[in-house]
Amino acid sequence: MNPEVAVYVKELSKLRYGYPLYDPDPAESYDRIRIGDVGYVTDYGCFLRLFNVFYPEDHPINNLGVPEGFVPLDEKYRRSHRSQAIQPGVICSSHVRKVGGGLSFDGGVIPAGLSINLSCSEQQGAALIIKRRAIREDTRCKKAFRDLILKNYEVWHSFARDELQTDISVKDIFLVTGTILTNEWATATVVDKARNCEMQFNAGDGLNPFGSASASVWGSWTSSISIPLRFGPTSLPPAHPDAYATSPSASSDDTTEPLPNQCVFLRAYHVLTRPFFLRKIKAAAEPKDETDRGYEDGSKYPIAAIVEVDADDESEAGDGDSEAPVCISIACLEVFDLTCCQSNMIYTRKLEITYLRSDSFFCTSSSGCH
Protein backbone atom coordinates (compact mmCIF):
# COMPACT_ATOMS: atom_id res chain seq x y z
CA MET A 1 0.00 0.00 0.00
CA ASN A 2 1.22 3.49 -0.83
CA PRO A 3 2.61 5.12 2.38
CA GLU A 4 0.29 8.13 2.31
CA VAL A 5 -2.69 5.80 1.76
CA ALA A 6 -1.63 3.64 4.71
CA VAL A 7 -1.38 6.67 7.00
CA TYR A 8 -4.73 8.07 5.85
CA VAL A 9 -6.51 4.74 6.37
CA LYS A 10 -4.92 4.18 9.76
CA GLU A 11 -5.65 7.67 11.07
CA LEU A 12 -9.27 8.04 9.90
CA SER A 13 -10.16 4.46 10.85
CA LYS A 14 -9.92 5.67 14.43
CA LEU A 15 -13.12 7.65 13.89
CA ARG A 16 -15.08 4.37 13.40
CA TYR A 17 -17.09 5.48 10.40
CA GLY A 18 -15.82 2.47 8.46
CA TYR A 19 -12.91 1.77 6.13
CA PRO A 20 -11.63 5.13 4.75
CA LEU A 21 -11.13 5.31 0.99
CA TYR A 22 -8.21 7.57 0.14
CA ASP A 23 -9.61 7.94 -3.38
CA PRO A 24 -13.43 8.09 -3.03
CA ASP A 25 -13.98 8.93 -6.71
CA PRO A 26 -15.18 6.14 -9.04
CA ALA A 27 -14.25 8.45 -11.94
CA GLU A 28 -15.01 6.72 -15.25
CA SER A 29 -15.12 3.19 -13.80
CA TYR A 30 -18.77 3.14 -12.66
CA ASP A 31 -21.41 5.36 -11.11
CA ARG A 32 -20.88 4.70 -7.38
CA ILE A 33 -20.10 1.98 -4.86
CA ARG A 34 -23.23 0.04 -3.98
CA ILE A 35 -24.25 -2.37 -1.25
CA GLY A 36 -23.62 -5.83 -2.67
CA ASP A 37 -20.52 -4.84 -4.63
CA VAL A 38 -17.74 -7.41 -4.60
CA GLY A 39 -14.37 -5.80 -5.23
CA TYR A 40 -11.04 -4.74 -3.79
CA VAL A 41 -9.12 -1.63 -2.77
CA THR A 42 -6.05 -0.76 -4.81
CA ASP A 43 -2.69 0.28 -3.36
CA TYR A 44 -3.73 3.87 -4.04
CA GLY A 45 -6.94 3.70 -2.04
CA CYS A 46 -9.55 3.29 -4.78
CA PHE A 47 -12.27 0.63 -4.62
CA LEU A 48 -12.72 -1.34 -7.85
CA ARG A 49 -15.87 -3.37 -8.40
CA LEU A 50 -15.66 -6.90 -9.80
CA PHE A 51 -19.41 -7.56 -9.82
CA ASN A 52 -22.52 -6.98 -7.71
CA VAL A 53 -24.32 -9.87 -6.02
CA PHE A 54 -27.83 -8.44 -6.62
CA TYR A 55 -27.70 -8.04 -10.41
CA PRO A 56 -27.93 -10.74 -13.09
CA GLU A 57 -25.03 -11.66 -15.33
CA ASP A 58 -26.30 -9.62 -18.30
CA HIS A 59 -26.84 -6.40 -16.32
CA PRO A 60 -24.55 -3.44 -17.21
CA ILE A 61 -23.24 -3.32 -13.62
CA ASN A 62 -21.75 -6.79 -14.14
CA ASN A 63 -20.06 -5.88 -17.41
CA LEU A 64 -16.83 -7.62 -16.32
CA GLY A 65 -18.66 -10.90 -15.99
CA VAL A 66 -19.58 -13.00 -12.97
CA PRO A 67 -18.03 -16.05 -11.27
CA GLU A 68 -18.88 -19.56 -12.38
CA GLY A 69 -22.21 -20.75 -11.00
CA PHE A 70 -23.24 -17.21 -10.02
CA VAL A 71 -26.82 -16.76 -8.81
CA PRO A 72 -27.99 -13.24 -7.81
CA LEU A 73 -28.76 -12.77 -4.13
CA ASP A 74 -32.50 -12.72 -3.38
CA GLU A 75 -34.10 -9.28 -3.62
CA LYS A 76 -35.46 -9.61 -0.08
CA TYR A 77 -31.92 -9.01 1.19
CA ARG A 78 -31.73 -5.56 -0.43
CA ARG A 79 -33.27 -4.01 2.70
CA SER A 80 -31.13 -1.13 3.93
CA HIS A 81 -31.25 1.88 6.23
CA ARG A 82 -30.24 5.40 5.19
CA SER A 83 -29.29 8.27 7.49
CA GLN A 84 -27.19 11.39 7.60
CA ALA A 85 -23.70 10.41 8.72
CA ILE A 86 -21.47 13.50 8.58
CA GLN A 87 -22.28 17.21 8.47
CA PRO A 88 -20.43 19.51 6.04
CA GLY A 89 -17.04 20.53 7.39
CA VAL A 90 -13.91 18.76 8.57
CA ILE A 91 -13.29 15.44 10.31
CA CYS A 92 -9.76 14.60 11.34
CA SER A 93 -7.63 12.24 13.37
CA SER A 94 -6.67 13.02 16.95
CA HIS A 95 -3.27 14.32 15.84
CA VAL A 96 -4.89 17.08 13.78
CA ARG A 97 -6.75 19.95 15.39
CA LYS A 98 -8.85 22.81 14.09
CA VAL A 99 -7.37 26.24 14.74
CA GLY A 100 -9.49 29.31 15.41
CA GLY A 101 -12.66 27.81 16.85
CA GLY A 102 -15.60 25.97 15.33
CA LEU A 103 -17.17 26.36 11.91
CA SER A 104 -20.42 28.22 11.49
CA PHE A 105 -22.49 28.38 8.31
CA ASP A 106 -26.05 27.90 7.12
CA GLY A 107 -27.64 25.94 4.32
CA GLY A 108 -25.89 22.58 4.70
CA VAL A 109 -23.06 23.53 2.30
CA ILE A 110 -19.62 24.99 2.99
CA PRO A 111 -19.92 28.51 1.51
CA ALA A 112 -17.44 30.15 -0.85
CA GLY A 113 -14.84 32.16 1.02
CA LEU A 114 -14.81 30.02 4.18
CA SER A 115 -11.33 29.17 5.49
CA ILE A 116 -10.55 26.09 7.60
CA ASN A 117 -7.26 26.14 9.50
CA LEU A 118 -5.70 22.91 10.71
CA SER A 119 -2.56 22.03 12.64
CA CYS A 120 -0.75 18.69 13.06
CA SER A 121 1.73 18.46 15.91
CA GLU A 122 2.63 14.79 15.44
CA GLN A 123 4.52 12.99 12.71
CA GLN A 124 1.35 11.56 11.17
CA GLY A 125 -2.22 12.76 10.77
CA ALA A 126 -5.09 13.03 8.31
CA ALA A 127 -8.08 15.26 7.63
CA LEU A 128 -11.15 14.98 5.39
CA ILE A 129 -13.26 17.98 4.41
CA ILE A 130 -16.66 17.56 2.75
CA LYS A 131 -18.60 20.39 1.14
CA ARG A 132 -22.06 18.84 1.58
CA ARG A 133 -23.55 16.34 4.01
CA ALA A 134 -22.56 12.69 3.73
CA ILE A 135 -25.26 10.00 3.62
CA ARG A 136 -24.87 6.60 5.26
CA GLU A 137 -26.54 3.47 3.91
CA ASP A 138 -26.21 0.09 5.61
CA THR A 139 -27.67 -3.31 4.89
CA ARG A 140 -30.24 -4.63 7.32
CA CYS A 141 -29.37 -8.22 6.39
CA LYS A 142 -25.81 -8.70 7.69
CA LYS A 143 -26.20 -12.41 8.29
CA ALA A 144 -27.14 -13.01 4.65
CA PHE A 145 -23.97 -11.20 3.58
CA ARG A 146 -21.77 -13.13 6.03
CA ASP A 147 -23.19 -16.42 4.88
CA LEU A 148 -22.80 -15.45 1.23
CA ILE A 149 -19.10 -14.55 1.41
CA LEU A 150 -18.24 -17.62 3.49
CA LYS A 151 -19.94 -19.84 0.93
CA ASN A 152 -18.48 -18.19 -2.19
CA TYR A 153 -15.15 -16.55 -1.36
CA GLU A 154 -13.07 -19.21 -3.10
CA VAL A 155 -14.90 -19.02 -6.42
CA TRP A 156 -14.91 -15.21 -6.19
CA HIS A 157 -11.15 -15.21 -5.72
CA SER A 158 -10.68 -17.61 -8.62
CA PHE A 159 -12.81 -15.35 -10.82
CA ALA A 160 -10.78 -12.27 -9.88
CA ARG A 161 -7.42 -14.01 -10.27
CA ASP A 162 -7.97 -16.30 -13.26
CA GLU A 163 -10.67 -14.55 -15.31
CA LEU A 164 -9.85 -10.90 -14.60
CA GLN A 165 -6.12 -11.39 -13.91
CA THR A 166 -6.07 -9.29 -10.75
CA ASP A 167 -3.17 -9.79 -8.38
CA ILE A 168 -5.09 -9.98 -5.11
CA SER A 169 -5.39 -12.47 -2.25
CA VAL A 170 -8.52 -13.92 -0.64
CA LYS A 171 -8.50 -11.36 2.18
CA ASP A 172 -8.41 -8.49 -0.34
CA ILE A 173 -11.90 -9.33 -1.66
CA PHE A 174 -14.55 -7.15 -0.02
CA LEU A 175 -18.32 -7.65 0.00
CA VAL A 176 -19.76 -4.18 0.60
CA THR A 177 -22.43 -3.93 3.30
CA GLY A 178 -22.54 -0.15 3.72
CA THR A 179 -21.34 3.16 2.33
CA ILE A 180 -21.00 6.82 3.30
CA LEU A 181 -21.40 8.91 0.17
CA THR A 182 -20.91 12.63 -0.40
CA ASN A 183 -20.21 14.98 -3.29
CA GLU A 184 -17.12 17.21 -3.10
CA TRP A 185 -14.24 16.36 -0.77
CA ALA A 186 -10.68 17.36 0.06
CA THR A 187 -8.00 15.50 2.02
CA ALA A 188 -4.70 16.32 3.69
CA THR A 189 -2.29 13.66 4.95
CA VAL A 190 0.79 14.20 7.08
CA VAL A 191 2.93 11.14 6.38
CA ASP A 192 6.15 11.56 8.35
CA LYS A 193 7.12 15.04 9.48
CA ALA A 194 9.42 15.96 12.36
CA ARG A 195 7.89 19.40 13.04
CA ASN A 196 4.53 21.11 13.24
CA CYS A 197 2.51 21.37 10.06
CA GLU A 198 -0.03 24.13 9.44
CA MET A 199 -2.69 23.69 6.74
CA GLN A 200 -5.42 25.98 5.42
CA PHE A 201 -8.34 25.09 3.18
CA ASN A 202 -10.16 27.91 1.39
CA ALA A 203 -13.55 27.17 -0.13
CA GLY A 204 -13.91 28.50 -3.68
CA ASP A 205 -16.81 29.90 -5.64
CA GLY A 206 -17.62 26.62 -7.42
CA LEU A 207 -16.96 28.17 -10.83
CA ASN A 208 -13.27 28.85 -11.36
CA PRO A 209 -10.29 26.95 -9.98
CA PHE A 210 -7.66 28.74 -7.95
CA GLY A 211 -4.36 29.50 -9.59
CA SER A 212 -2.24 26.94 -7.78
CA ALA A 213 -1.35 23.27 -8.06
CA SER A 214 -3.23 22.49 -4.82
CA ALA A 215 -6.58 23.77 -6.04
CA SER A 216 -9.85 22.50 -7.46
CA VAL A 217 -13.09 24.00 -8.68
CA TRP A 218 -14.43 24.12 -5.14
CA GLY A 219 -11.40 25.03 -3.01
CA SER A 220 -7.67 25.30 -2.50
CA TRP A 221 -5.07 24.09 0.00
CA THR A 222 -1.99 25.80 1.37
CA SER A 223 0.44 24.24 3.87
CA SER A 224 3.59 25.19 5.73
CA ILE A 225 5.42 22.09 4.44
CA SER A 226 5.01 19.80 1.47
CA ILE A 227 2.35 17.14 2.15
CA PRO A 228 -0.17 15.22 0.00
CA LEU A 229 -3.20 17.50 -0.62
CA ARG A 230 -6.06 16.18 -2.73
CA PHE A 231 -9.53 17.07 -4.06
CA GLY A 232 -12.48 15.39 -5.68
CA PRO A 233 -14.39 14.51 -7.66
CA THR A 234 -12.32 14.44 -10.80
CA SER A 235 -15.54 14.13 -12.79
CA LEU A 236 -19.15 14.98 -12.06
CA PRO A 237 -21.67 12.44 -10.73
CA PRO A 238 -24.08 10.83 -13.21
CA ALA A 239 -27.10 12.88 -14.22
CA HIS A 240 -29.52 10.08 -13.25
CA PRO A 241 -29.44 7.66 -10.28
CA ASP A 242 -29.79 4.66 -12.58
CA ALA A 243 -26.83 5.57 -14.77
CA TYR A 244 -24.10 2.94 -14.65
CA ALA A 245 -21.16 4.84 -16.09
CA THR A 246 -19.94 8.24 -15.00
CA SER A 247 -19.58 10.78 -17.77
CA PRO A 248 -18.87 14.52 -17.74
CA SER A 249 -21.89 16.78 -17.59
CA ALA A 250 -22.69 20.38 -16.97
CA SER A 251 -21.55 21.90 -13.67
CA SER A 252 -24.10 22.21 -10.90
CA ASP A 253 -24.35 25.17 -8.56
CA ASP A 254 -24.67 25.10 -4.78
CA THR A 255 -28.48 25.36 -4.89
CA THR A 256 -28.85 21.98 -6.62
CA GLU A 257 -27.35 19.06 -4.75
CA PRO A 258 -26.07 16.44 -7.21
CA LEU A 259 -26.41 12.73 -6.57
CA PRO A 260 -23.71 11.69 -4.04
CA ASN A 261 -21.30 9.20 -5.59
CA GLN A 262 -18.04 9.83 -3.70
CA CYS A 263 -17.56 7.03 -1.14
CA VAL A 264 -15.48 8.42 1.72
CA PHE A 265 -16.05 5.37 3.97
CA LEU A 266 -17.27 1.86 3.26
CA ARG A 267 -18.20 -1.12 5.39
CA ALA A 268 -17.63 -4.62 4.12
CA TYR A 269 -16.91 -8.23 4.96
CA HIS A 270 -13.82 -10.11 3.89
CA VAL A 271 -12.64 -13.64 4.64
CA LEU A 272 -9.63 -14.49 6.75
CA THR A 273 -8.20 -17.99 6.94
CA ARG A 274 -6.20 -18.80 10.03
CA PRO A 275 -5.08 -22.00 11.75
CA PHE A 276 -7.11 -22.85 14.83
CA PHE A 277 -6.03 -25.23 17.57
CA LEU A 278 -9.41 -25.47 19.22
CA ARG A 279 -8.36 -27.87 22.00
CA LYS A 280 -6.49 -24.96 23.58
CA ILE A 281 -9.67 -22.99 24.18
CA LYS A 282 -11.84 -25.78 25.55
CA ALA A 283 -12.70 -25.53 29.20
CA ALA A 284 -10.19 -27.30 31.43
CA ALA A 285 -12.88 -29.52 32.95
CA GLU A 286 -14.14 -30.79 29.58
CA PRO A 287 -13.55 -34.54 29.08
CA LYS A 288 -10.69 -35.26 26.72
CA ASP A 289 -11.57 -37.16 23.56
CA GLU A 290 -8.43 -38.85 22.27
CA THR A 291 -10.09 -39.53 18.91
CA ASP A 292 -10.98 -35.88 18.31
CA ARG A 293 -7.93 -34.66 16.43
CA GLY A 294 -9.65 -32.94 13.51
CA TYR A 295 -8.86 -29.39 14.67
CA GLU A 296 -5.33 -29.91 15.94
CA ASP A 297 -3.62 -30.45 12.59
CA GLY A 298 -3.05 -26.79 11.80
CA SER A 299 -5.75 -26.71 9.13
CA LYS A 300 -7.07 -23.30 8.15
CA TYR A 301 -10.70 -22.33 8.53
CA PRO A 302 -12.55 -19.31 7.12
CA ILE A 303 -13.78 -16.39 9.21
CA ALA A 304 -16.07 -13.65 7.87
CA ALA A 305 -14.58 -10.45 9.27
CA ILE A 306 -15.56 -6.80 9.27
CA VAL A 307 -13.06 -4.85 7.14
CA GLU A 308 -11.58 -2.48 9.67
CA VAL A 309 -8.27 -1.13 10.93
CA ASP A 310 -7.96 -1.08 14.69
CA ALA A 311 -7.52 2.39 16.12
CA ASP A 312 -4.39 1.51 18.07
CA ASP A 313 -2.65 -0.55 15.39
CA GLU A 314 0.47 1.27 14.25
CA SER A 315 1.80 -1.57 12.10
CA GLU A 316 -0.29 -0.83 9.02
CA ALA A 317 1.66 2.35 8.31
CA GLY A 318 4.99 0.60 8.20
CA ASP A 319 6.00 0.86 11.84
CA GLY A 320 6.83 -2.80 12.29
CA ASP A 321 5.23 -6.19 12.41
CA SER A 322 3.86 -6.25 15.92
CA GLU A 323 1.38 -9.02 16.70
CA ALA A 324 -0.66 -7.35 19.44
CA PRO A 325 -3.57 -9.66 20.32
CA VAL A 326 -7.26 -9.08 19.76
CA CYS A 327 -9.96 -11.49 20.86
CA ILE A 328 -12.08 -13.00 18.08
CA SER A 329 -15.24 -15.02 18.54
CA ILE A 330 -15.18 -18.15 16.40
CA ALA A 331 -18.91 -18.81 16.62
CA CYS A 332 -19.31 -18.64 12.85
CA LEU A 333 -17.33 -21.87 12.53
CA GLU A 334 -20.20 -23.58 14.34
CA VAL A 335 -17.77 -25.65 16.38
CA PHE A 336 -18.39 -23.99 19.72
CA ASP A 337 -20.82 -21.29 20.81
CA LEU A 338 -18.52 -19.59 23.25
CA THR A 339 -19.06 -16.94 25.87
CA CYS A 340 -15.62 -15.43 25.70
CA CYS A 341 -13.48 -15.32 28.83
CA GLN A 342 -9.79 -15.43 29.68
CA SER A 343 -9.45 -19.12 28.81
CA ASN A 344 -11.57 -18.98 25.65
CA MET A 345 -9.67 -16.72 23.26
CA ILE A 346 -8.08 -16.83 19.88
CA TYR A 347 -5.53 -14.17 19.07
CA THR A 348 -4.59 -12.66 15.73
CA ARG A 349 -3.55 -9.32 14.26
CA LYS A 350 -5.42 -6.20 15.31
CA LEU A 351 -6.52 -5.60 11.72
CA GLU A 352 -8.73 -8.66 11.92
CA ILE A 353 -11.39 -7.50 14.36
CA THR A 354 -14.43 -9.67 13.73
CA TYR A 355 -18.18 -9.62 14.26
CA LEU A 356 -19.45 -13.10 13.47
CA ARG A 357 -22.53 -14.54 15.15
CA SER A 358 -24.05 -11.26 16.35
CA ASP A 359 -23.52 -7.51 16.02
CA SER A 360 -21.25 -7.38 19.05
CA PHE A 361 -18.45 -9.45 20.53
CA PHE A 362 -19.19 -12.13 23.11
CA CYS A 363 -16.12 -11.14 25.10
CA THR A 364 -16.62 -9.10 28.25
CA SER A 365 -13.13 -9.42 29.68
CA SER A 366 -10.78 -6.48 30.17
CA SER A 367 -8.01 -7.90 28.00
CA GLY A 368 -8.72 -5.95 24.87
CA CYS A 369 -12.00 -7.43 23.57
CA HIS A 370 -14.77 -5.10 22.42
Q: What pLDDT, on the 0 to 100 scale, is given for residue 313?
A: 44
Tens digit of each residue's pLDDT (9 = 90 or more) over 103-113: 666 667 888 88
Q: What pLDDT, on the 0 to 100 scale, is given for residue 52?
A: 98
Q: What pLDDT, on the 0 to 100 scale, is given for residue 304?
A: 75
| E strand intervals along the chain | 19-20, 37-41, 47-52, 80-86, 89-92, 96-99, 115-120, 125-130, 134-139, 174-182, 185-190, 197-203, 215-216, 219-223, 229-232, 262-275, 300-306, 326-327, 347-348
Tens digit of each residue's pLDDT (9 = 90 or more) over 16-71: 999 999 999 987 778 899 999 999 999 999 999 999 999 999 999 999 999 999 99
Q: Output the CA torsion sign for 271, 317, 309, 221.
A: negative
What pTM was computed for the model? 0.72
Residue 234 gets the label, from left (phi > 0), alpha (psi -120 to 50) or beta, of alpha
Contact (Cβ atoms closer than 8 angstroms) between residue 369 and residue 356: no
Instruction: List C-alpha distances in Å: 32 to 46, 109, 264.
Output: 12, 21, 11
CA-CA distance, 324 to 348, in Å (whole number)?
Answer: 8
Residues 6+ apart with CB under 8 A from 107: 254
